[in-house]
Chains A and B, each alone.
Chain A
Amino acid sequence: MISANFDALKAGDTIDGPAFAVSRESIRLFCDASLDYNPLHLDDDYMKGDFGKTNFGGIIMHGMNNFGLISRMLTDWALPAGAIHRRLETRWLKPVKPGDTIRPGGTIKAKQTTAKSRWVLVDVAVQNQRGETVAAGEAMLEFPAS
């Protein structure tokens, strides 16, 4: 994993995130922490039904749990270098279920210097234990001009 040094960073450098074990308990804890008690995350009977065109077959993790893990990876990487997590865009590609282990990662895409600051663009993704990408997106980190 590359350290957060603006001048040294180049496209293709990678950032590693933490592994996260998903369980019924972790999903329930996320309900309490986010106040999102949508039955998608709580109610197995409800989840036997169809959602428009989709059937999940059981409870699923909050999509925003992916978002929170990516955000954690970015801030833990950037903060020690004085860099600031400014933007994160994500979309969910596959549902995550109890028993899965997921891990976020990042790849430096580009650097940009503007009139007053310096920016790093990062492609981010979350993969499950089968190597499937469950969430993807991009982030923007600011490295204030020194």
Chain B
Amino acid sequence: MAQAESSAATPFETDFWKDAKLRKMWDDIVPGEPRKTLPYKLTQEAIALYCRAVGETNPLYLDEAAAKAGPYGGLIAPPAIHILLMFACTPADDWMRSPGTVNAGQSWSYNIPARPGDTITLQARALDKFIKRERLFVVHDNVFFNQHGDVICSGRGQTIRPM
């Protein structure tokens, strides 16, 4: 097991089975306990890729000259970029990446946009866990910040944990 890997220098692990045994199961998750997270430098390329995946075409996200003349004075990321940030800021051994994790619903509040070049940090924890109709649920509590300490967005979600 490569425990000494530097998270900053390691490319994103796309095999979610790797490290699966290291991850906490529902039984091990302690509500209230902060999760270990990683800072993430958001790039224009990552924003453009996200935009392509959902068909976003707004020039505020993609056209530097148009964005400069717009209300934010420069390029921004779409609000739902937290979809990417969530995994980008999550270490490979975190239970959020357990294969079979099913997303059961989310709510997000938006403060200011993320921008290309931002270094994003995440404060995250399980806030609650419960059993409903024989399924194992965890309530997630997440807040993303930029390098100035400003809140970008905050969210609450529920996942059903693999058994």
Contacts and interface: CB of A to CB of B under 8 A. Distances in A.
Interface residues of B, number: 44
Contacts of A63: 103, 105-106
B29 to A, nearest CB: 16
A144 to B, nearest CB: 11
A51 B162 contact: yes
B10 interface: no
Interface string A74-88: 011001001011111
A45 B46 CA distance: 30
Contacts, number: 130
Interface stretch (A1-9, A26-34, A118-126): A26-34
Contacts of B71: 82
B79 interface: yes
Contacts of B106: 63-64, 67, 89-90
Interface in A85-113: 85-92
A35 B87 contact: yes
The number of chain A residues touching the other chain, given as a range, is 35 or more
B147 interface: no
A75 B58 contact: yes
A132 interface: no
Given A52-B134, A67-B83, A85-B110, A38 B100 contact: yes
Contacts of B99: 38-40, 46
Contacts of A54: 102
24 contacts: A18-B55, A29-B53, A33-B46, A33-B83, A33-B84, A34-B50, A34-B83, A34-B84, A34-B87, A35-B12, A35-B87, A38-B16, A53-B133, A65-B53, A67-B83, A68-B50, A68-B54, A68-B78, A71-B54, A72-B78, A79-B60, A89-B106, A90-B106, A90-B107
